[in-house]
Amino acid sequence: MEIVRLSTLDDWADTVAARFTARLAARPAPRLCLATGNTPLPLYDRCVAAVRAGAASFRDAEAFLLDEFGGVPREAEGRCEQMLRRALIDQVDLPAARFHTIDTDAADLEAICRQYEAAVGTLDLTLLGIGTNGHIGMNEPGAPPDSLTRRVDLSDETQRSATHYFGGRHTPTWGVTAGMATVLRSREIWLLATGSSKAAILRRLMTEPVSPLLPASLLRQHPRCILFCDDAAAAELPPAPPRPA
Ligand code: GLP
């Protein structure tokens, strides 16, 4: 896993956004999987500004929501779809039909998961955040490396974090997530981590053995995964080995 460390949150957002918009331009029809949570918000702000300035476009992109909470009202502010629409989708030029959400209200969830998995195919770029317990998407510790898109129960820790997205009004206990195998199939993966609350999990990510008990550690075996972090999140990382002379 390549590590790109930026000193401040502003540097982090500028750098990731510049690389992201370059990726958008590089492929004729980029297939993206997009995380929600708070971490990517400064990046999405920069993307919106770039599109408004005519410097980037989602015109030819295909965007898939990484995960979605279940058992909470469809319009609730903390639903992943609502978060991503507010932060990015509704403010850029992505054609509406090319934003793929996950309908956790559907009666037949297994069919929804199968349809999502088939539609995703091979992603060009997946953006991930990381939970303080090492989850990616809603793949909690113990998620099988070969797992596909499916319904999952959320750990107590994830439920406690998730309730903030809903202003404390709802606490989701389950969700549907792109699976570990779905994510690992992506040609490129960017793991995003900022702030001191991610320092301990980044240390674990880079120092503990690769194991499904720490789902993000499986990303270390991916040929094209980059961790983008700021100094606060990187504070507990072991020092980088010296570059060869
Ligand atoms: C949440 C989401 C993840 C997100 C992660 C980190 O539970 N399911 O997709 O990446 O936890 O969230 P945040 O960026 O708000 O710290």
215-237 pLDDT tens trace: 999 999 999 999 999 999 999 99
57 Cα–ligand 1 center, Å: 25
pLDDT beyond 80 at 243: no
Collect contacts of 164-173 with beta carbons under 8 A, ≥24 apart. 164/78, 165/36, 165/37, 165/77, 165/78, 165/83, 166/72, 166/76, 166/77, 166/78, 167/77, 167/78, 169/76, 170/72, 170/73, 170/76, 170/78, 172/69, 172/70, 172/71, 172/72, 172/78, 173/71
Annotated catalytic residues are 67, 133, 135, 140
In this predicted structure, what is the pLDDT of residue 245?
67
Ligand 1 contact via 140 beta carbon (within 6 Å): no
On the question of pLDDT at 14 being above 80, the answer is yes
Q: How confident is the model at residue 192 (pLDDT cuts 50, 70, 90)?
A: very high
Are 51 and 93 in contact by the 8 Å Cβ rule? The answer is: yes
Residue with tokens 């509406």: 96
- Residue 201: what pLDDT? 98
User: Is there an atom of ligand 1 within 6 Å of 138 CB?
Assistant: yes
Question: pLDDT averaged over the chain?
Answer: 96
Residue 28 has pLDDT above 90, yes or no: no
Q: 218 versus 26: which is more confidently predicted?
A: 218
Does residue 118 register a pLDDT over 80?
Answer: yes
Residue 201 in contact with ligand 1 by CB distance below 6 A: no
Average pLDDT over residues 13-29: 93
Per-residue pLDDT at 108 exceeds 70 = yes
Nearest ligand 1 atom to the CA of 37 is: 15
Output the pLDDT for position 239: 84
Q: Is 38 in the pocket of ligand 1 (CB under 6 A)?
A: yes
DSSP per-residue string spanning 142-162: T--TT--SEEEEPPHHHHHHH
pLDDT confidence bin for 189, thresholds 50/70/90: very high
Span 185-199, average pLDDT: 98
| 30 in contact with ligand 1, CB cutoff 6 A | no
- Which atom, in ligand 1's list, is nearest to the CA of 177? 8
Q: Give the confidence band of 27 by pLDDT, cuts at 50, 70, 90.
A: confident
Atom of ligand 1 nearest to the CA of 69: 8
At 20 the pLDDT is: 97
